Structure 1
Amino acid sequence: MSLLSLLLSAVRVYYIGFCALLQQLLRRLRPGCPFKPDFPQQNGNVAIVTGGTRGIGYHTVKYLARLGMHVIIAGNNEREGQETVMKIKEETLNAKVEFLYCDLASMKSIHQFVHTFKAKNCPLHVLINNAGVLLVPERKTKDGFEEHFGVNYLGHFLLTNLLLETLKQSGTQSHNARIVNLSSATHFVGELHFNDLQSSRLYSPHGAYAQSKLAIVLFSYWLQHLLTVEGSHVTVNVADPGIVNTSLYKHVSCPGKLVKWTLGWLLLKTPEEGSYTSVYAAVSPELEGVGGCYLLHEQRTKSLDVSYDEKLQRRLWTESCKLVGIHDTVL
């Protein structure tokens, strides 16, 4: 990758971000927007939310807890996790909120998390793969993966596959289990470099981030295909939270930070607003039995054309299975 390619990668990401902001602003100016959706009580159904201690994840957990769900926060900071649990319990009066340690940058930690969860012998009705990193400096996970690809995508790929059997056992014909994978508008400028998925050649944080978000979409669609063929009562959808005012933007360039500091109140969603699409995907009756959708502002929309390429989906799935050390016949 040349220096020009690095520059173009950044320009594409900021351009798509600008377009998303403009769309978000126009929507916000419509009468009745923004609004807080209303969903039915969940009667003790079990959910796992990765990265649920702050930002979008925190508000997702709180919303689900208010709906009466048993929510398990999967995170990599024990102290912060326990503090979050106490806070949400106090605010929602729901005692069934807990924290389990899971470092998505470590395959060993993911396996340990799944082992601990399965030891509880409880069902799993909703898995929300929310955690992520954004535009971080070049660095590797504990298993040697580029951090965007390793945490945003591969960590969730492995976690989902390890929990699939529990999800399938928990779903029924009238009440499917649901998987919600968070992506973003940057997937529209993402490219999969199969000869360099770990972005080892002249690293671009913008390109690496966009690639991870495109990978999430491709993975979601192929998994839904496999589940449909098998006849499993599990659905998979992609949630795009929009452009949200969270701490993830600490690595954004100075112009981006200036926009956040000066016009964030007008252009950016609050973390609570950013959680609505995830919650919609997790519990809305409108999506009962419906999978393979890209959801933005609580509505179905079209993702990047190439994301519907089944050969590309299949190729990524096979390569991902090799990288995380699972058989390509998990289903």
Structure 2
Amino acid sequence: ESLFALLFEVLRLFKIFLFLPHAVLHTQNGRVAIVMGGARGMGYETARHLASLGMHVVIAGNSEEEGLQAVKKIHEEGSEGKVEFLFLGLCSLKSVRQFVHRFKARALTLHIPVNNACIMLVSEGKTEDSFELHFGLNYLGHFLLTNLLLDKLKRSGRHDACSRVVTMSSATHYVGILNMEDLHGRSCYSELGAYSQSKLSVVLFTYHLQEKLTAGGFPVTSKAVDPVMVDTDLYNKLCIPAPAAKKPVAKMLFRIPAEGASTAILAATASQLEGVGGCYFYNGERTESADITYDHNVRAERWKQSCALVGLREA
């Protein structure tokens, strides 16, 4: 038993060394971030780290109890930055609009929205607005939220210190299939298919947003981030033959949430990524995404379609 424990610890230390990017992160005093799903898992670790760098962090989530507990915990750690909670239900377009209204009423600047909130491999269901759950929460909620906050981001950024939109994707986007005629998988629902399509849509959104920002000369960048496999609640449905084996397998093969958050933190704050956007980061490194994500016509069609679904006039 002790031998196995030692092996797991060696593998874990190797994993940390392998995954954590080597970058110097400077203080972020005066900058403001919103971390969606920031009360637990990778979102919490992202919020905690951004606050430790001196940033004013707004944790956005659908559980006030969890959100306030996260705020308290970060404050107790003696964080340099201010942390607060605002309610946001990404399964409701009305809630997204209400959140934006409350945030803008606070007269804060905004430099970094981290679109982290996510569901994975859930049974077929619908959001409040009748969208398929993965598509509605993982993609459309973040799509609307980011667009409604763009005016803040454009005013807050500078060309030597851009605002940065960071959106979590997944390697499953490589196998995602876009069905423009059946966005909700109603003809043949698949949990993996729905999840991978939502994450593919995220990459298309990230790239097309950057295209628009660059064309307008705005000091805002947009990046998609793949945190690799992380041991969070998202993997509760992972098929492991013996339930008792899940914990040691996850410890050996998966990253812990703090490691999973490292690429998002890098994308949000690293000085060497200043002005870099329209790209996909895997394990702290810029890498190629699925071929379809580089098709301008596909990106433009998904953007136009998304605007219609959430009630935005396409700019």
TM-score band (shorter)? Answer: over 0.9
Task: State the secondary structure of the residue aligned to 2:77.
Answer: helix
| Residues 135 and 198, structure 2, Cα contact 8 Å, conserved in 1 | yes
Q: Does 1:269 align with 2:255?
A: yes
Q: Does 1:160 align with 2:131?
A: no
**Equivalent residue for 2:291?**
305
| Residues 183 and 216, structure 1, Cα contact 8 Å, conserved in 2 | yes
1:141-173 C-alpha deviation (Å, 9 max, x unpaired): 000000000000000000000000000000111
1:32-86 C-alpha deviation (Å, 9 max, x unpaired): 4344654100013100000000000000000001000000011000111111100
| Residues 19 and 283, structure 2, Cα contact 8 Å, conserved in 1 | no
Where do residues 36-185 of structure 1 align in structure 2 (5 Å cutoff)? 37-94=23-80, 96-185=82-171
| Residues 70 and 257 (structure 1), Cα distance of their counterparts in 2 relative to 1, 3 Å cut | farther
**Equivalent residue for 2:198?**
212
> Distance in 2 between the 1:239 and 1:218 partners?
13
**Equivalent residue for 1:295?**
281
> Distance in 2 between the 1:200 and 1:298 partners?
36
1:258-308 C-alpha deviation (Å, 9 max, x unpaired): 764232111100000000000000000011011011001111011111111
> Distance in 1 between the 2:123 and 2:13 partners?
33
- Determine what percentage of the aligned residue pairs are the same residue: 50
Where do residues 251-266 of structure 1 align in structure 2 (5 Å cutoff)? 251-255=237-241, 260-266=246-252
Instruction: Return 5+ residue gaps in structure 2 as ranges.
Output: 1-9
Task: State the secondary structure of the residue aligned to 1:133.
Answer: coil
* Equivalenced residues, count: 305
Instruction: Return 5+ residue gaps in structure 1 as ranges.
Output: 1-24
| Residues 173 and 197, structure 2, Cα contact 8 Å, conserved in 1 | yes
- Using the size of structure 2 for normalisation, the TM-score is 0.93
> Distance in 2 between the 1:255 and 1:240 partners?
27
Deviation for aligned residue 1:95 = 5.6
1:119-151 C-alpha deviation (Å, 9 max, x unpaired): 011100101000000000111000000000000
> Distance in 1 between the 2:277 and 2:245 partners?
35
**Equivalent residue for 2:185?**
199
> Distance in 1 between the 2:310 and 2:283 partners?
32
Task: State the secondary structure of the residue aligned to 1:277.
Answer: helix
- Letter of the 2:130 partner, please give it: G
> Distance in 2 between the 1:126 and 1:258 partners?
39
> Distance in 2 between the 1:259 and 1:193 partners?
37
Task: State the secondary structure of the residue aligned to 1:33.
Answer: helix
1:229 pairs with 207, 215, 218, which one? 215
1:33 pairs with 15, 18, 21, which one? 18
- Letter of the 1:98 partner, please give it: E
| Residues 181 and 239, structure 1, Cα contact 8 Å, conserved in 2 | yes
1:193-236 C-alpha deviation (Å, 9 max, x unpaired): 11100111221111000000000000000000000001000000
| Residues 134 and 227 (structure 1), Cα distance of their counterparts in 2 relative to 1, 3 Å cut | same
Q: CA RMSD in A?
A: 1.9
> Distance in 1 between the 2:53 and 2:251 partners?
28
**Equivalent residue for 2:6?**
none
1:86-127 C-alpha deviation (Å, 9 max, x unpaired): 001111334610000000000000000000000011100101
- Using the size of structure 1 for normalisation, the TM-score is 0.88
Task: State the secondary structure of the residue aligned to 1:300.
Answer: strand
| Residues 11 and 252, structure 2, Cα contact 8 Å, conserved in 1 | no
